[in-house]
Amino acid sequence: MAKFNPSEYSVLIQYRKIDGHFFYVGTVKELPDVEVYEESYVDAYSEALATITNLYEMAQELSRPFPLPASTSTEYSGRLTLRVPKLLHKKIAEEAQNDDISINQFLIYLISRNIEKQNMISPIKNRHMEVVFLTGEMRPPIEYHVSSAMNAPQFQFRSYDKQKLISH
């Protein structure tokens, strides 16, 4: 059996305001009940890893199963079965035919394109807490809207007092 490594687990650290104070909050995707609160990012990450290790050791002592890290808990074959309404199936088939490609190629294109959009938007959403901390405003600094599945995100930037913003 491979040696246990808590770093293989999906740890997310977010900066949150709780009861009027800011904390780095660590959560673990595979262990949804785990939350740690610390004054620094490094401390939150270290405490999350220590918590994973402690829970693993307790599970071993009690001969209980312990969740595997998300990265190794599933094998992917590349095959996916998807049921869609008949009307949507028709529209997908027509669009694929218009582009002279298979339905499979068309769906791979759409899914890949959407994932790229999400990857572009996610860093903006993740920086929201930093901007809240710097500006004291709870509104996100950037709003994004996607008017339809085929359109790119449209960003609307809000202006802030430049004195309040500190670039990192």
> Which pLDDT score, from 0 to 100, does residue 109 have?
87
**Predicted pLDDT of residue 80:** 83
71 with 8: CB under 8 angstroms? yes
Q: What percent of the chain is modeled with pLDDT above 90? A: 45
Residue 149: predicted pLDDT: 43
Q: Which of 32, 33, 26 is nearest to 7 (CA)?
A: 26
Task: Give the mean pLDDT of the chain.
Answer: 76
Q: Residue 110 in contact with residue 149, Cβ under 8 Å?
A: yes
Q: What distance separates the 2 farthest-apart alpha carbons in the chain?
A: 61
Least confident window among 9-13, 49-53, 85-89, 141-145? 141-145
pLDDT digits 0-9 by tens, 100-140:
899 998 888 888 888 877 766 565 555 444 444 444 444 44
Mean pLDDT along residues 8-28: 92
Residue 155, Ramachandran bin (φ over 0: left; ψ between -120 and 50: alpha; else beta): beta
21 bridge partner residues = 18
Specify whether the backbone of 36 is left (phi greater than 0), alpha (psi in -120 to 50) or beta. beta
Tens-place pLDDT, residues 46-69: 999 999 999 999 999 999 999 998
71 pLDDT tier (thresholds 50, 70, 90) = low
Please report how many Cα atoms fall inside a 13 Å half-sphere around the Cα of residue 52, on the Cβ side: 25
Residues β-bridged to residue 144: 155
In the chain, the N- to C-terminal Cα span, in Å, equals 43
Asked if pLDDT for residue 156 goes beyond 60, the answer is no
More confident of the two residues 13 and 160? 13
